[in-house]
């Protein structure tokens, strides 16, 4: 039942692995690596104890920040970052900080507030949304379902559920369109499992633009699809021309008996036919990678399938508004020796909300996951997944790009155009996901530096989301 949100690899990887009959085998044990004072790497000794969670609702006050905007932190001064990092990152710092890194300090608590059209919808429909008895979202129209400033982690037992629904319906423009590249790594070595191509994911319901609010927030009248996601693979040659399309329905977000599973179709070039893929096939094929269906963007699943708790708030230093170009603009390779570091980029001090997720399904591989969200934008900063024994298993980090900044000579509207009612998209967009398996030394990196959320013309949109178009391409 676990599945994809927006973009992406949670759908694509299982489909490609199933289609091509390939995938990485069991990863070898990792050896010691990195900074001498780091905790033992997996395979060299017992893993570090899981950090204690904050008591529910605890809010840590601001801490004096010793860095100036524009300051550069090199490897020899990395210890100065410790008070501002999640303890799990520090415990495994040899994966993320390295000799030769050049971490730039960005402006603390910069304003990344979303587009006015989203803020207006939040104001207009404030107080309407509610969490149902099964954890589902009810009576939601558009905007932020539960204004963050009104969610009380101390007094409201539904605070965690409300905040994860805020995350699901955070401002993301109209969705996403981009190139993508996925690589699988073993202690810095890029393994043969590597894919690249193009992708999109369009949000078809709960739109805040006035033209759609006139028809209940639907892009097309009486729309039943909440999200439509598509891929076209360009590399490797063995998978070139593979295309997929996934419908996540509005009722996918509701528990049984209303629940409707997603539908996914795949066009395989060699067979020259469209095949429908079952949920079971997708979940089996993902085995062997470090991904679960819920890991992209820290959480890409269905909130009602989990128990949620608001752990608290704190200031944290996190990869934020990138200062450089990566794939597909350039073949950027400086992700450190592990291939999983973002420390050669810009970090900013942000106020974070920490959520804890526990699966309702006892067969789920996770005991829990801790998710750190940017309080202002609800964009993911970090997450930490624990196996059934309670041992830390995966560390997930994200790098972002702000839609209103020029980047290396690329003007904002040249890569992220405006559209009707949205003259400035004001979107803090994830452009890199990094997943480190601290128990095996393997990891995954997904890059989509040119991702934007500008809607396509309506005719092209209809073609992109039409299953019949898979055979002919988009």
Give the whole-angstrom CA distance, residue 222 versus residue 461: 17
Q: How confident is the model at residue 16 (pLDDT cuts 50, 70, 90)?
A: very low
Tell whether the model's pLDDT for residue 64 goes beyond 90. Answer: no
| Residues 150-203 pLDDT 10s | 999 999 999 999 999 999 999 999 999 999 999 988 877 777 678 899 999 999
Tell whether the model's pLDDT for residue 74 goes beyond 80. Answer: yes
Q: What is the DSSP letter of 123?
A: H
Residue 155 is encoded by which pair of tokens?
């007094």
Between 140-154, 182-196, 330-344, the lowest mean confidence (pLDDT) is in 182-196
What is the structure's pLDDT at 472?
76
The residue among 303, 331, 356, 319 whose CA lies nearest residue 165 is: 303
What is the pairing mode between strands 72-73 and 189-203?
unpaired
- Summarize the confidence of residues 337-365 as an average pLDDT: 95
Q: What is the dihedral of CA 101, 104, 108, 112, to 10 degrees?
A: -100
Give the whole-angstrom CA distance, residue 279 versus residue 87: 36
What is the structure's pLDDT at 281?
41
Helix/strand number for the chain, H first, E second: 8, 18
What is the structure's pLDDT at 280?
46
| Residues 383-426 pLDDT 10s | 999 999 999 999 999 999 999 999 999 999 999 999 999 999 99
- List Cα–Cα distances, 36 to 39, 92, 94, 195, 461, in angstroms: 8, 12, 8, 34, 53
What is the structure's pLDDT at 189?
78
Give the whole-angstrom CA distance, residue 126 versus residue 272: 49
Tell whether the model's pLDDT for residue 59 goes beyond 70. Answer: no
Under a CB-based contact definition with an 8 Å cutoff, are residues 79 and 26 in contact? no
Give the whole-angstrom CA distance, residue 46 versus residue 119: 48
Q: Give 199's contacts (C-beta < 8 A, 6+ positions apart).
A: 7, 8, 12, 176, 177, 178, 179, 180, 229, 230, 231, 232, 448
Under a CB-based contact definition with an 8 Å cutoff, are residues 137 and 165 in contact? yes
- Summarize the confidence of residues 194-218 as an average pLDDT: 96
What count of Cα atoms within 13 Å lies in the side-chain half-sphere of residue 98?
18
Between 22-31, 33-42, 233-242, the lowest mean confidence (pLDDT) is in 22-31
Q: What is the dihedral of CA 435, 105, 74, 85, to 10 degrees?
A: -50
What's the maximum distance between 2 C-alpha atoms anywhere in the chain? 61
Under a CB-based contact definition with an 8 Å cutoff, are residues 112 and 376 in contact? yes
Give the containing element (helix H, strand E) for 124.
Answer: helix 116-124
Tell whether the model's pLDDT for residue 1 goes beyond 70. Answer: no
Between 31-35, 65-69, 187-191, 469-473, the lowest mean confidence (pLDDT) is in 31-35
The model's pTM = 0.88
Residue 257 is encoded by which pair of tokens?
């008996």
Give the whole-angstrom CA distance, residue 218 versus residue 220: 5
- Summarize the confidence of residues 252-256 as an average pLDDT: 95
Tell whether the model's pLDDT for residue 343 goes beyond 80. Answer: yes
The structural domains of the chain, ordered by start, are 9-116+165-470 (2.50.20.10)
What is the structure's pLDDT at 456?
98
- Summarize the confidence of residues 364-393 as an average pLDDT: 96
What is the structure's pLDDT at 288?
53
| Residues 224-247 pLDDT 10s | 999 999 999 999 888 899 999 999
What is the structure's pLDDT at 19?
40
- List Cα–Cα distances, 473 to 203, 276, 453, 466, in angstroms: 21, 17, 21, 10
What count of Cα atoms within 13 Å lies in the side-chain half-sphere of residue 196?
14
Which residue matches tokens 């106020």?
A: 351
What is the structure's pLDDT at 293?
64
- What mean pLDDT value characterizes the chain? 86
Handedness of CA 209, 213, 215, 218 (dihedral sign): positive
What is the structure's pLDDT at 58?
53
Q: How confident is the model at residue 294 (pLDDT cuts 50, 70, 90)?
A: confident
Q: What is the DSSP letter of 117?
A: H
Q: How confident is the model at residue 321 (pLDDT cuts 50, 70, 90)?
A: very high
What is the structure's pLDDT at 308?
98
What is the structure's pLDDT at 277?
80
Give the whole-angstrom CA distance, residue 365 versus residue 368: 9
């Amino acid at each position: 039942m676990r599945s994809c949100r927006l973009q992406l690899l949670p759908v694509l990887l299982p489909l490609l692995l199933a289609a091509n009959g390939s995938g990485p085998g069991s990863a070898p044990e990792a050896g010691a690596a990195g900074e001498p004072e780091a905790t033992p790497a997996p395979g060299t000794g017992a893993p570090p104890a899981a950090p204690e969670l904050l008591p529910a609702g605890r809010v840590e006050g601001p801490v004096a920040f010793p860095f100036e905007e524009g300051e550069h932190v090199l490897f020899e001064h990395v210890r100065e970052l410790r008070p501002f990092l999640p303890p799990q990152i520090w415990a495994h710092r040899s994966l993320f900080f390295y000799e030769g890194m050049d971490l730039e300090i960005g402006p603390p608590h910069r304003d990344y507030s979303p587009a006015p059209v989203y803020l207006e919808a939040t104001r207009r429909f404030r107080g309407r949304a509610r969490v149902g008895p099964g954890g589902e979202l009810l009576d939601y129209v558009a905007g932020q379902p539960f204004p963050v400033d009104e969610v009380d982690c101390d007094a409201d037992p539904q605070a965690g559920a409300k905040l994860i629904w805020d995350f699901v319906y955070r401002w993301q423009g109209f969705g996403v369109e981009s190139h993508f590249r996925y690589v699988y790594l073993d202690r810095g070595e890029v393994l043969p499992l590597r894919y690249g191509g193009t992708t999109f994911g369009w949000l078809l319901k709960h739109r805040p633009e006035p033209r759609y609010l006139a028809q209940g927030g639907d892009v097309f009248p009486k729309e039943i699809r909440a999200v439509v996601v598509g891929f076209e693979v360009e590399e490797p040659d063995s998978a070139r021309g593979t295309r997929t399309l996934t419908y996540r329905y509005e009722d996918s977000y509701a528990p049984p008996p209303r629940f409707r599973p997603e539908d996914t179709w795949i066009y395989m070039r060699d067979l020259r036919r469209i095949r429908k893929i079952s949920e079971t096939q997708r979940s089996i094929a993902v085995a062997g990678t470090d991904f679960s269906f819920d890991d992209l963007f820290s959480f890409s699943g269905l909130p009602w399938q989990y128990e949620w708790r608001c752990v608290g708030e704190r200031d944290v230093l996190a990869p934020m508004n990138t200062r450089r170009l990566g794939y597909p603009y350039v073949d950027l390779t400086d992700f450190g020796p592990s291939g999983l570091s973002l420390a050669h980029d810009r970090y900013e001090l942000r106020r974070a909300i920490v959520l804890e997720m526990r699966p309702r399904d006892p067969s789920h591989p996770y005991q829990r996951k801790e998710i750190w969200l940017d309080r202002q934008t609800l964009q993911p900063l970090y997450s930490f997944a624990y196996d059934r024994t309670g041992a830390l298993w995966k560390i997930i980090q994200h790098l972002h790009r702000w839609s209103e900044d020029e980047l290396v000579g690329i003007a904002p509207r040249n890569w992220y155009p405006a559209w009707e009612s949205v003259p400035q998209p004001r979107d803090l967009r994830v452009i890199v996901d990094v997943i480190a398996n601290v128990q095996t030394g393997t990891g995954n990196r997904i890059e989509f530096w040119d991702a934007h959320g500008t809607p396509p013309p309506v005719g092209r949109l209809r073609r992109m989301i039409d299953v019949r178009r898979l055979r002919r391409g988009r």
